[in-house]
Structure 1
Amino acid sequence: MRIDKYLWCIRYYKTRSIATEAAKKGHITVNGQVAKPSREVFPTDKITLRKDQINYKLTVLDVPLNRLGAKLVDMYRKDETPPEAFEHLELLRLSKEHYRANGTGRPTKKDRREIDDYISDEDFYNDNED
């Protein structure tokens, strides 16, 4: 079975065309070699793919005949992705949310005035303490 079809069948990619694009961009390797979308996959092959800033590592156990339900995927692949990869993704997500909540955008004029008032009040209290 082709590598793009295999990764689509075991639900790593939502469509075959997305899996094909990933292979063309060099995000997929089989046994340490960059794979073209038409590369055949056999049991015991080691697949490494980069998706969403995570390097997934898989071992092919068997080749399915068609797309599988999510519960049946583990019969056809063994996931050897280290847990540190997922922790790294969580840290990236948290660091992006640190400054401002998602969807709030830039401060409005009212927000800016409130920030300026808060800062000037702090300066006022700090000057009077001396």
Structure 2
Amino acid sequence: MPVHDEAAAKVRLDKWLWAARFYKTRSLATEAIDAGHVHLNGDRAKPARTVKAGDRLRVLTAHGEFDVVVAQLSDRRGPAEVARTLYDETPESEARRAQQSLDRALVPTFEHPLSKGRPTKKWRRQLHDFSRKQQG
């Protein structure tokens, strides 16, 4: 899957991000680039910008912020194992993402089992009583 031909070594940034499985679709990758969530060599990039091996990318996704170095080029989306070989994540980035996931796991969640969806009549009365006590 990785591109080996020198003539075909030009891969658009949005295609590479999609092939490396940072985003589920090319359109999501394009939207993220346009929103400024992707920086190529420290600068904001455009979706059509070409990527080459050795480029540094900072990618902000829903599941974390990645600082990576492009190892290989590909314009085809393949299995996750192959996609992982397209880039090398910096150790600082890995440590930061591990710390962030640990922080998220330790944050307490306050979800009432009945709070999902429409509240029941009993739960609505409890909410009403609670808000009335808070006001006066």
Q: What TM-score do you get using the length of structure 1 for normalisation?
A: 0.72
1:47-88 CA distance string (max 9 Å, x none): 001111621111101102421211112321112223332432
1:55 to 58, 65, 76: 65
User: In the alignment, which residue of structure 2 is the partner of 1:126?
Assistant: none
- The 5 A counterparts of 1:13-28 are 13-28=23-38
1:35 to 45, 52, 62: 45
Q: Give, in angstroms, the shift of residue 17 of structure 1.
A: 0.4
Instruction: Go from structure 1 to structure 2 and tell me whether the alpha carbon gap of 1:58 and 1:38 turns closer, same or farther (over 3 Å shift).
Output: same
User: In the alignment, which residue of structure 2 is the partner of 1:45?
Assistant: 55
SS in 2 for 1:82: helix
1:97 aligns with 2:109: yes
How many residues are matched? 116
Residue type at the aligned position of 1:110: K
CA root-mean-square deviation: 2.9
- List alignment gaps of at least 5 residues for structure 2: 1-10, 130-136
Q: Quick check: 2:114–2:123 contact (8 Å CA) kept in 1?
A: no
Larger Rg: 1
Q: Give, in angstroms, the shift of residue 34 of structure 1.
A: 0.6
Query: What is the aligned-residue identity percentage?
Result: 33
C-alpha separation between the residues in 1 aligned to 2:78 and 2:114?
A: 34
Report runs of 4+ in structure 1 exceeding 4 Å deviation: 111-116
1:69-126 CA distance string (max 9 Å, x none): 111123211122233324324534663623435963576442477898xxxxxxxxxx
C-alpha separation between the residues in 1 aligned to 2:115 and 2:17?
A: 33
More helix by proportion, 1 or 2?
A: 1
Q: Quick check: 2:77–2:83 contact (8 Å CA) kept in 1?
A: no
User: In the alignment, which residue of structure 2 is the partner of 1:85?
Assistant: 97
Residue type at the aligned position of 2:72: D
Residue type at the aligned position of 1:83: A
C-alpha separation between the residues in 2 aligned to 1:102 and 1:110?
A: 10
2:18 to 8, 13, 27: 8
